[in-house]
Chain A
Amino acid sequence: DAGVTQSPTHLIKTRGQQVTLRCSPKSGHDTVSWYQQALGQGPQFIFQYYEEEERQRGNFPDRFSGHQFPNYSSELNVNALLLGDSALYLCASSLNAGVPYEQYFGPGTRLTVT
């Protein structure tokens, strides 16, 4: 049973460019969340997708957008990259059900903006 997978593993971009990160959820999960983890900090919630719609959003600018596909996989897009966007981007999947299930995290994508 595959866990959460993310691609690419590492990415280097220049300020002003755009980037797309990808995530495949754990088998059986229908909800995908994205987090940004800056160096030395805890993960910060970006947004969550369920039923192909953004259900919840954290305090991130509109430069950050996403998408969920019918197979539950998801993409995170960041436009007009800033140096401060350099971070580990984590995808987490879970099951939307009555019981609060834990979120399972992927290994992350390390984004470096130069």
Chain B
Amino acid sequence: AQSVAQPEDQVNVAEGNPLTVKCTYSVSGNPYLFWYVQYPNRGLQFLLKYITGDNLVKGSYGFEAEFNKSQTSFHLKKPSALVSDSALYFCAVRDSRDEEYGNKLVFGAGTILRVKS
């Protein structure tokens, strides 16, 4: 069964500094990886995905993520953080072997990002 670990409950960063939110995963087949952001009392908003190809994926709002197969990681990054980036971030994985049966996502527990001015 697939699983996702987000080892940090909270990440604090100063505005203008680079940020990284960590994610590691476990799947039987090939991973399809996603990052979502959730603002208070809101649903999840899609940021970016990795399906295949280039290990560096670029997404919305200046975010990017790096897929590392050997380390089974998919860390979210941004070169310069904004106060408005403060939110709850979720990493999710879908197993390519699951395709036949559906496309459920398995989420990590989430990481709170706080950007201070």
Residues on A with beta carbons closer than 8 Å to the beta carbon of B107:
35, 42-44
Stretch at the interface among A13-21, A65-73, A99-107: A99-107
Q: A42-B109, A90-B44, A107-B43 are in contact. Are A58 and B104 (CB under 8 A)?
A: yes
Q: CB-CB contacts of B82-107 with A at 8 A, as 1s and 0s?
A: 00000000101010101101111111
Count of chain A residues with Cβ under 8 Å from any Cβ of B? 30
Residues on B with beta carbons closer than 8 Å to the beta carbon of A31:
103
Residues on A with beta carbons closer than 8 Å to the beta carbon of B43:
4, 90, 105-108
Count of chain B residues with Cβ under 8 Å from any Cβ of A? 28
Name the residue among B4, B90, B94, B107 with the largest chain A CB count within 10 angstroms: B107
Q: CB-CB contacts of A1-13 with B at 8 A, as 1s and 0s?
A: 0001000000000
**Residue B49, interface by CB 8 Å:** yes
On whether the beta carbons of A56 and B102 are closer than 8 Å, the reply is: yes
Other-chain contact of A41, B94, B103, B109 (Cβ < 8 Å)? B109
Give chain B interface residues in 23-55, CB to chain A under 8 Å: 32, 34, 36, 41-46, 49, 51
Give chain A interface residues in 63-114, CB to chain B under 8 Å: 90, 92, 94, 96, 99-108, 110
Instruction: Jot down 21 A-B pairs with beta carbons below 8 A, ordered by A.
Output: A4-B43, A31-B103, A33-B102, A44-B107, A48-B102, A50-B102, A55-B102, A56-B101, A56-B104, A92-B44, A92-B105, A100-B103, A101-B103, A102-B46, A102-B49, A103-B46, A103-B103, A106-B43, A107-B42, A107-B43, A108-B43
